[in-house]
């Protein structure tokens, strides 16, 4: 099958500013906790990503001025789009947080998270199970869109297929989003019960595209450029969002961009080229944070970059404890730069996977009806982002 496809750019507008944001390349970097920080976003933008979304920020932490959260909302000057994902459980808090991040951080795109599968969030009625309470969900979305629209900023929304196979939510979420002025819906084609396990159900993306007039962005199991093209072709979605497939591989966005231009390419950087990109990532990270925090944050990235290359266990152990840029340079200098790319890693899942859950942890009686809420839903919202 031809792994190229001509896909138009994406217009993301607010209700009163339809042309607010033009995305020439409809390929997004998904928000990932502890990963999509400024340095990594800059690298992905340079490689061809259209929009790179900051890791999830909790609305409550923004409103309360939590210091850690404030530090997480930093954008690099080199980022062409300042896109920030918010998670909130009450309309007033989400509205205040949206206004704050636009005014203080210059956010140009607000993405709402309604897909988190983490038990400590779902057990209190938040994350991917919150849209079950349809009127609360509608009120939160309406508050976010109206708040952002005061500044002409578009709002997108990310969700999942449903809580589990017996409790789908995608069509309810999509209809509310469309009714309330959301610019686009991103569907991670797994249920909350699946978390990150198993195979994404792209047919659900196809169904949502058919049901909505607003753009649908597909997410799930994009490991190579060919996967992105096949998703676009088979589902009719308006764009794709890449998450775990980009871990240690920001050049994946260049491959996808080339495929969208009719020039399919599979970049296979050798070990030296990967090390050069890894070092640049580390330098950007240190500049954005400081050396101790920047290098501690790089440890996970380092192992992702070097995955599949013949790097000995002792060296991997040293790299997992690296504390300074000079130490990283010294450790990498001993590697054989001409070592070819490990093609056996192509197309394989990366990052967390795990197993599907036998049941999703929720408040007692949560599924009994779509309206009543017998718990303090605000307890599902962490007061510190990244928690």
Write the secondary structure of the chain as one string of H (helix), E (strand) and C (coil). CCCCCCCCCEEEEECCEEEEEEECCCEEECCCCCCCCHHHHHHHHHHCCCEEEEEEEEHHHHHCCCHHHHHHCCCCCCCCCCEEEEECCCHHHHHHHHHHHHHHHCCCEEEEEECCCCHHHHCCCCHHHHHHCHHHHHHHHHHHHHHHHCCCCCEEEEEECECCCCCECHHHHHHHHHHCCCCEEEEECCCCCCCCCCCCCHHHHHHHHHHCCCCEEEECCCCCHHHHHHHHHHHCCCEEEECHHHCCCCCHHHHHHHHHCCCCCCCCCCHHHHHHHHHHHHHHHHHHCCHHHHHHHHHHHHHHHCCCCCCCHHHHHHHCCCCCHHHHHHHHHCCCCCCCCCHHHCCCCCCCCCCCCCCCCCCCCCCCCCCCCCCCHHHHCCCCCCC
Which CATH architecture fits 10-267?
Answer: Alpha-Beta Barrel (3.20)
Q: Angle at CA 323, nearest 5°, toward 322 and 329?
A: 65
- Whether residue 219 contacts residue 241, with contact meaning beta carbons closer than 8 Å, is answered with yes
Q: What is the per-residue pLDDT for 3?
A: 63
Residue boundaries of the structural domains of the chain:
10-267, 271-341
- pLDDT for position 387: 44
DSSP bridge partners of 216:
185
CB 90 within 8 A of CB 131: no
pLDDT in tens, 34-82: 999 999 999 999 999 999 999 999 999 999 999 999 999 999 999 999 9
Beta-bridge partner residues of 52: 29
Is the model's pLDDT at 330 over the cut of 60? yes
Which tens digit of pLDDT belongs to each residue from 85-135?
999 999 999 999 999 999 999 999 999 999 999 998 899 899 999 999 999
Entry pTM:
0.94
Model confidence band, residue 178 (pLDDT cutoffs 50, 70, 90): very high
> What is the mean predicted confidence (pLDDT) over 319-346?
96
116 is catalytic: yes
Q: Which of 52, 116, 186, 237 is catalytic?
A: 116
10-267 and 271-341, same CATH topology: no
- Beta bridge partner(s), residue 11: 22
Calpha distance 113→97 (Å, rounded): 13
Q: What is the rounded CA–CA span in Å between residue 333 and residue 335? A: 6
The reported pLDDT for the residue numbered 263 is: 87
Class of domain 271-341: mainly alpha
In this prediction, residue 375 carries a pLDDT of: 80
CA dihedral 228, 231, 237, 243 (to 10 degrees): -50
Q: Which of 128, 132, 194, 184 is nearest to 155 (CA)?
A: 184
**Average pLDDT score over residue span 199-203:** 97
The tally of CA atoms less than 13 A away on the side-chain side of residue 224 is 14
């Amino acid at each position: 099958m031809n792994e190229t496809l001509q896909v138009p750019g994406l217009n993301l507008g607010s209700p009163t500013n339809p042309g607010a944001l033009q995305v020439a390349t409809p390929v997004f970097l998904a928000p990932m906790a502890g990963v999509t920080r400024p340095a990594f976003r800059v690298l992905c933008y340079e490689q061809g990503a259209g929009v790179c979304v900051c890791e999830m920020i909790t609305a409550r932490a923004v409103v309360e001025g939590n210091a850690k959260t404030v530090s997480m909302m930093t954008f690099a000057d080199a980022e062409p789009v300042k896109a920030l994902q918010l998670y909130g459980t009450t309309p007033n808090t989400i509205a205040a947080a949206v206004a704050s991040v636009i005014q203080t951080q210059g956010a140009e795109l607000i993405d709402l998270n309604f897909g988190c599968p983490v038990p400590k969030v779902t057990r209190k009625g938040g994350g991917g199970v919150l849209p079950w309470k349809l009127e609360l969900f509608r009120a939160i979305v309406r508050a976010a869109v109206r708040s952002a629209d005061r500044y002409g900023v578009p709002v997108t929304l990310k969700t999942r297929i449903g809580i589990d196979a017996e409790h789908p939510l995608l069509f309810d979420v999509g209809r509310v989003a469309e009714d309330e002025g959301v610019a686009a819906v991103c569907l991670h084609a797994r249920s909350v019960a699946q978390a990150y396990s198993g195979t994404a159900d792209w047919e659900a993306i196809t169904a949502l595209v058919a049901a909505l007039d607003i753009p649908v962005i597909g997410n799930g199991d994009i490991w190579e450029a060919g996967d992105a093209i096949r998703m676009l072709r088979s589902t009719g979605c308006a764009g794709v969002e890449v998450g775990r497939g980009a871990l240690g591989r920001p050049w994946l966005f260049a491959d996808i961009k080339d495929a969208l231009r009719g020039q399919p390419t599979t970049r296979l950087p050798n070990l030296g080229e990967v090390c050069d990109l890894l070092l640049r990532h580390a330098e950007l990270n240190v500049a954005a944070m400081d050396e101790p925090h920047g290098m501690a944050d790089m440890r996970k990235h380092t192992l992702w970059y070097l995955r599949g290359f013949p790097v000995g266990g002792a060296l991997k152990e040293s790299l997992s404890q690296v504390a300074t840029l000079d130490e990283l340079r010294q450790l990498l200098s001993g590697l054989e730069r001409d070592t070819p790319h490990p093609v056996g890693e192509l197309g394989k899942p990366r990052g967390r996977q795990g197993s599907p859950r036998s049941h999703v942890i929720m408040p007692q009686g949560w599924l009994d009806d779509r309206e009543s809420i017998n718990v303090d839903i605000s307890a599902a919202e962490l007061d510190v982002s990244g928690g």
